[in-house]
Amino acid sequence: MSPIIIACIGGLRSGSTMQFGYVRKVLEASGNSYRNMSYVACEDWNQIVEAATEQHDYVIFKSHDVEILEKLVDLDRVKPIYIQRDIRDVYCSMKEKWNVNVDHIESIVEQDRQNYQRLRGRSEILFQVYEEFWESKERGIDEIQNYLNLRLDAQALKQVIHEEHAPDNLGARVFRVAKQISRKTQNLPIFNSDRIQPLKRKVYEFLIRKSVDPETQIHPDHFSKRKGAPGAWTEMLDDSEREAFEENGVSCHIEL
């Protein structure tokens, strides 16, 4: 019998790497064999089709491209898991890590809506909410194992919940040093010129690729000062950003 294909799908900065990690841990703790395809872009969908011919219980991959599921319609056993995060916090994470600004809010909100609309009609899919998963890892993991028809005993579940993994390869250490240099020089005009900015972006992308843990897909830029805690938007959005979200149908009213 062909393996079950688990597709961990989510938008950028939505928590898909966290979800991907816990799905892998559930498979390992339940004693199942699997092929870890790591990150797969839409244009590389044939890699999934090829892996589906191998002798494993599962094939698992992560992607930000919702469209990849439409490429896999001929495979019998595809189980997508989609994670959605408060789009205001997604924007704040992008703002902190990638220097996006208020001009990007409309496209960020629209992409999030398009992703959801493309997935909501599927007959089999697990939708997870980042904020609920962050609040209770046990509940999030329970949703995953129920969806996959697996069952962990209490000891295995505890191990999955508390096991942590952070990248510590050479690429990760170089990336951290580069980030420190970038912060110290960010107010110097020469490092913010139109000529230098594209070069900085290319260096950033190169270092990210080199620092990614191939097994977990974790890299240093996944970590923030808030450690992933929801609600960053209540502190980080300025008036123009709140107004932009409101114009795109996303409330920024704070309950007192």
* Below-50 pLDDT ranges, the chain: 172, 217-219, 222-223, 256
Numbered ranges of CATH 3.40.50.300 in the chain: 4-162
pLDDT of residue 82: 96
Q: Are 135 and 141 a contacting pair, CB within 8 Å?
A: no
Q: What is the DSSP letter of 213?
A: -
Quote the CA–CA distance of 89 and 240 in Å, as a whole number. 16
Q: Answer for the pair 45, 72: CB distance below 8 angstroms, yes or no.
A: yes
Q: What is the pLDDT of residue 254?
A: 67
pLDDT score, position 252: 85
| pTM confidence score | 0.78
- What pLDDT score does 204 carry? 55
**Model pLDDT, residue 123:** 83
Q: Which residues of 144-180 are buried (b: 16+ CB within 10 A; e: fewer)?
A: bbebbeeebeeebbeebeeeeeebeeebbeebbebee
CATH fold label, 4-162: Rossmann fold (3.40.50)
pLDDT at 7: 96
Strand partners, 39: 62
